[in-house]
DNA sequence: ATGTTTCTGAACACCGTGTTCGGTTATAAA
DNA sequence: TTTATAACCGAACACGGTGTTCAGAAACAT
């Protein structure tokens, strides 16, 4: 079944809302943006907003849906070995810089990353490993990544994505590898 | 000047509010607690609440003021060398477990820790170090700590404070040392 | 006993959310 | 071009939370 043609109006409405939100976030930060702000800026009726999205959160996520899909593709395609997670992190530093989305979505990225890491770590960790629960390790690796990313965004990208990735790797890899091998 | 005797009523009111908040946090999490909830539980008039605290946040912080002071004492007394940060982290794991405060205050702890680390790192990092900004390093070390703490609390203390501290050290120390020496 | 401080609680103004519904307009398809 | 329909509008509403005000009651220190 070829996908239904989408009514121009819904297309227009959705875009307007996404753009409005995006602008407002840059102006005053996601936390302070209200539905009212968005629909005023987008010139969209209140009821219309709720016809399309359950909440601001949903609207926000909808904007990153393409990125998320791409991210998922990348993950499912990649082989997990000793190298790939670091290659992945580089890609993500680069992507996030492009997006200018800010750190609002980092929470979601973190969940995603955590799930991915956990899946693969469970296979890799020696079963009898008494050192560290895989959940904790995954949590740590994902959190560290988000931490660096947060700093990077807050400080408005003072270093290159490549440099950030290098630092991330230098900081996190040694301890991670060591604790996995023990 | 010997400190003014505090009116019993004030004491009573403050305590009631703190206890009520503390109970409610355990029941449904800080985010979902409202001022109304607190004053109902504490049996305190609405206006009274605002006579004492500007907001829920303030009330929350007031409860942790003693702990914060103690923390500050500990920090100012400690010598910063290659060992002490890890000794410190153990103390903190232990303290947090005692408090049962949950992770609501972790944000504040993080800021505090960050400031402390940054102060001392600036003295220690080779000045010509081109590898990593001290701010980023401090941010990473503090964030990692908070990350482990968060996991620990969320999972209701599945490991001992000592074990957690050991893991923290194993994960974070190697990378940190390496990047500082380079 | 008295003057002061604190507490009370109802009333109020304000703001944000999310829903409903009758009327209007844009769109796609015939 | 006509027409049925899907989308949009926006005002009104119910709800719940915040923070302020004020007059009167109660607890307190002396």
- Residue pairs between chains A and B whose CB atoms are closer than 8 Å: 75
Any domain includes B66? no
Same domain, B176 and B111: yes
The stretches in chain B having pLDDT less than 50 are: 1-2
Any domain includes B149? yes
Chain B interface disruption, residue of A121, A125, A140, A158, most B CBs within 10 A: A140
Task: State whether residue B139 sits within 8 Å of chain A by CB.
Answer: yes
Q: What percent of chain A has pLDDT over 70?
A: 81
Cβ-count burial of B98 within 10 angstroms (0-12 exposed, 13-18 middle, 19+ buried)?
exposed
B78-87 long-range Cβ contacts below 8 angstroms, 24+ apart: B80/B120, B80/B124, B85/B117, B85/B141, B86/B165, B86/B168, B86/B169, B86/B173
Kindly state the DSSP code that residue A104 receives in the 8-state scheme: G
DSSP output for B71-91: HHHHHHHS--SSSHHHHHHHH
Q: Do B147 and A148 touch (CB under 8 A)?
A: no
Q: pLDDT tens digits for B43-56?
A: 999 999 999 999 99
Give the pLDDT of residue B1: 45
* Pairwise CA distance, residues B102 & B106, whole Å: 8
Same domain, B1 and B30: yes
What does the H/E/C string look like for B12-46? Answer: HHHHHHHHHHHHHHHHHCHHHCCHHHHHHHHCCCH
Same domain, B53 and B88: no
Q: Is A2 helix (H, G, I), strand (E, B) or coil?
A: coil
Kindly state the tokens that stand for B101: 């405060």
Same domain, A90 and A125: yes
Any domain includes A119? yes
Taking CB atoms and an 8 Å cutoff, what residues of chain A touch B125? Answer: none
Same domain, B45 and B135: no
* Pairwise CA distance, residues B151 & B156, whole Å: 8
Give the pLDDT of residue B162: 92
**CATH number of the domain that B56 lies in?**
1.10.10.60
Same domain, A105 and A22: no
Same domain, B30 and B103: no
Any domain includes B111? yes
Give the pLDDT of residue B41: 96
Per the structure, the complete domain to which residue A77 belongs is given by: 63-181
Same domain, B55 and B84: no
* Pairwise CA distance, residues B96 & B93, whole Å: 5
Any domain includes A58? no
Domain count, chain A: 2
Any domain includes A79? yes
Which of A53, A80, A97 is the endpoint of a domain? Answer: A53
pLDDT along chain A (182 residues), means of 10: 73 95 88 95 96 94 76 63 67 73 68 84 70 92 94 90 93 90 72
Any domain includes A103? yes
Give the pLDDT of residue A93: 84
Same domain, B172 and B135: yes
Report CA(B61)–C1'(D15) in Å, whole number.
30
Q: pLDDT tens digits for B146-171?
A: 999 999 988 988 999 999 999 999 99
Same domain, A43 and A76: no
Same domain, A45 and A86: no
Give the pLDDT of residue A76: 66
Task: State whether residue A175 sits within 8 Å of chain B by CB.
Answer: yes
* Pairwise CA distance, residues B132 & A8, whole Å: 50
Same domain, A70 and A153: yes
Report CA(B69)–C1'(C3) in Å, whole number.
38
């Amino acid at each position: 079944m070829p996908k239904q043609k989408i009514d121009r109006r819904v297309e227009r409405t959705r875009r307007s809302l996404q753009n409005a939100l995006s602008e407002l976030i840059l102006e005053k930060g996601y936390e302070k943006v209200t539905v009212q702000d968005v629909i005023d800026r987008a010139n969209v009726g209140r009821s219309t907003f709720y016809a399309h999205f359950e909440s601001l959160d949903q609207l926000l996520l909808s904007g990153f849906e393409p990125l998320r899909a791409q991210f998922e593709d990348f993950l499912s395609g990649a082989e997990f070995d000793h190298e790939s997670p670091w290659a992945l992190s580089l890609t993500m530093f680069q992507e996030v810089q492009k997006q200018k989305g800010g750190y609002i979505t980092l929470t979601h990225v973190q969940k995603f990353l955590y799930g991915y890491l956990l899946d693969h770590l469970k296979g890799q960790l020696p079963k009898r490993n008494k050192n560290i629960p895989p959940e904790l390790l995954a949590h740590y690796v994902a959190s560290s990544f988000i931490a660096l990313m947060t700093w990077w965004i807050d400080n408005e990208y003072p270093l290159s994505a490549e440099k950030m990735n290098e630092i991330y790797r230098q900081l996190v890899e040694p301890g991670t590898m060591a604790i996995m091998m023990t």
